[in-house]
Amino acid sequence: MIIAIDGPAASGKGTLARRLAAHYGLPHLDTGLLYRAVAAMPEVRAALIEAQRNFARRPGGAVLDGRDIGTVICPEAEVKIYVTASPETRAQRRALELAGRGERADYAAILAEIVKRDARDSGRADAPLRAAPDAVRLDTTKMSVEAAFAESLRIVESRLSPLPKGEGQG
């Protein structure tokens, strides 16, 4: 089982991916960490795409989160979730995260960066940020972490159980 979780920065995709991986006993890969580590050099990106696909093909599956998992890396994933939230909510989350680590958190600057990054990620020619056509959209703007996790579990379970109880039996 491959679970692909995409979405913009600070939408909650990483938190949900880690929790889903733990819940199902699957390995997790935060693909954003890979790209940040190599500054997204085109030659390295090509190698990373294959490495991510190999990670996903592990026996038993995996959970991957990023911006192009369901559209480029694993379009065959059984479960695709596109996590989103309003830019204001995402900026507030990022500010709280930074403050929690003792770092300076300028909400206005964070919001401006999120809006700028969304435009850049959505408008890029190579693997733009967008939901896969068959992804389930999950807007976490007004959700607690627990509510978002419960909804993501519901989505995964619904994708793994194609027939309602009683159908196809007997």
- Report pLDDT digits (tens) over 48-96: 999 999 999 999 999 999 999 999 999 999 999 999 999 999 999 999 9
Q: What is the pLDDT of residue 165?
A: 54
Indicate yes or no: pTM above 0.85: yes
Q: 2-160 adopts what CATH topology?
A: Rossmann fold (3.40.50)
- Residue 109's φ and ψ, nearest 5 degrees, are -70, -40
Domain boundaries, the chain: 2-160
**CA separation (Å) from 159 to 80, 118, 124, 156?**
9, 28, 30, 5
Q: What is the pLDDT of residue 168?
A: 44
Q: What is the mean pLDDT of the chain?
A: 91
Asked if pLDDT for residue 40 goes beyond 90, the answer is: no
Asked if pLDDT for residue 11 goes beyond 50, the answer is: yes
